[in-house]
Amino acid sequence: MSQKITKALVTILLVHCANSAIAGVPSTCVGRFPNPITDICWSCILPITLGRSAIGNIGGQEDTGNPANPICSCTVNPTIGLSIGFWEPVRHIEVVRKPFCLVSLGGLDLDPGLPAPEAARYTDAAGAKNGFYQAHYYVNPIMYWLKVIADFPCLEAGSFDLSYLTEVDPLWNDDELTLLLNPEAVLFANPVAVAACAADCVAATAGFGQASLFWCAGCQGSLYPLDGWAPVHMGGVRTAELMMERLTAKMHRELLAWGWHGSAGLCGPYFLPVMDKTAYKSQLTYPVANTEKLTGKCCQPFGRTTVLWGAAKEYPVKGEDFAFMLFRKRNCCVGY
């Protein structure tokens, strides 16, 4: 009899904890500004290419296709030059539990008093573990503001700036409302489309994901809906990676992020409302900067499994928020 009472009390306690998380028990707000020397994996910029030929690579860094012709020209700003390719660190995304907590600004609590749902992890009626997170999008052209390369026309000019907060976006916490942005999601809510993401997971783990499977986030599951609800929560790193990929796709859909790669990007950015996930690599910078090179690499294409590189990157209380540096593929026509 006592064992039954004990089990009942444990069940009640677990339900109470889950409900408390949904209701919004205050979370800690800690963080760290990314140190450009110790927290950024600079080898992710590689390879540097001239046409299709690599002229600089260390550790076998992965790359996508480049324009075949090393000679290029532009008509808008008349230019004849060389076709250069590299991976530019230009964006920073953080995934947080506490609304308006700016992890990448040292744990600054920017709460203006606006209502916003707090992060939650819970088990639904079917027994599935779900989760919800807020996310923030920063403009961070670190190579430009550090003046790593002087007078290089292919670097995005600007400074570190907070660009987007999901707390003020009503679409981020509503699966139905976010269909306004991605109505095509209903086409992929079926077992066949979901099963196709397994192939994307294999491709992303071996190299880059398959751009044709644009609704998939590789080993993280489905990219849709473009909001903060994760239908399967299997660790903070994996879920944070999914939120980061979704927010990037959301920026593309809202035309706040453009394409800069391929032949179309040689002369400048172009509209890309459906994100090409092969144009991004990410590197975890917080809570534990992923600068240790696993098989020579410390940045990951979108959709790659977190089993290997995500181990020991999450810890209780102060290590349950996450920040990522985004390396965007850039092809550029450099000339006169």
Distance between CA atoms of 281 and 303, rounded to whole angstroms? Answer: 10
Residue 189: predicted pLDDT: 84
Residue 16: predicted pLDDT: 38
Q: For residue range 292-333, what is the model confidence (pLDDT) as tens digits?
A: 876 678 999 999 999 888 888 999 988 999 999 999 999 999
Residue 85 vs residues 66, 189, 314: alpha-carbon distances, Å: 7, 36, 34
Helix (H, G, I), strand (E, B) or coil at 236: helix
Residue 238: predicted pLDDT: 93
Mean pLDDT score, 4-33: 51
Give per-residue burial for 190-223: e unless 16+ CB within 10 Å, then b.
Answer: eeebeebbeebbbbbbeebbbeebbbbbbbbbbb
Residue 122: predicted pLDDT: 72
Q: For residue range 143-169, what is the model confidence (pLDDT) as tens digits?
A: 998 888 877 889 999 889 999 999 999
Mean confidence (pLDDT) of the chain: 88
Residue 27: predicted pLDDT: 75
In eight-state DSSP terms, residue 96 is E
Residue 127: predicted pLDDT: 67
Distance between CA atoms of 52 and 44, rounded to whole angstroms? Answer: 18
Of 291, 267, 269, 290, which Cα lies nearest the Cα of 279?
A: 269
Length of the chain: 336
The maximal CA–CA distance of the chain, rounded, in angstroms, is 85
Q: For residue range 197-208, what is the model confidence (pLDDT) as tens digits?
A: 999 999 999 999
CA 208 to chain centre: 14
Residue 231: predicted pLDDT: 83
**Is pLDDT at 262 greater than 90 in this prediction?**
yes
Residue 314: predicted pLDDT: 92
**Is pLDDT at 3 greater than 70 in this prediction?**
no
Mean pLDDT score, 55-71: 91
